Amino acid sequence: MTEPVHRAAPHLPELELQRLSVHFGSVAALSRVSVTLPAGEITCVLGENGSGKSTLVSVLSGLRPHDEGQLLLSGEPVRFRSPRQARAAGIATVWQDLAVAPLLSIWRNFFLGAEPTRGVGPLRRLDVEKARETTVRAMARVGVTHLDPDQPASTLQAGARQSLAIARAMHFGARALIVDEPTAPLTVNQQTLLLQAIVAARTQGLAVLLVTNNPRYAHLVGDRFLLLAHGSVAGLLTRDDVDAADLMRLMAGGEEFNALTEALTALHSELGDR
**In CATH, which superfamily holds the domain spanning 13-100+174-273?**
P-loop containing nucleotide triphosphate hydrolases (3.40.50.300)
Looking only at Cα atoms, what is the longest distance across the chain?
71
Average pLDDT along the chain? 87
What are the pLDDT digits (tens) for 6-34? 444 444 568 999 999 999 998 999 999 99
What are the pLDDT digits (tens) for 83-119? 999 999 999 999 887 778 989 999 999 998 888 998 8
Q: Which one has a higher pLDDT value, 269 or 235?
A: 235
| pLDDT band, very low/low/confident/very high, at 41 (cuts 50, 70, 90) | very high
Question: Domains of the chain: which residue ranges?
Answer: 13-100+174-273, 101-155
pTM for this model (two decimals) = 0.84
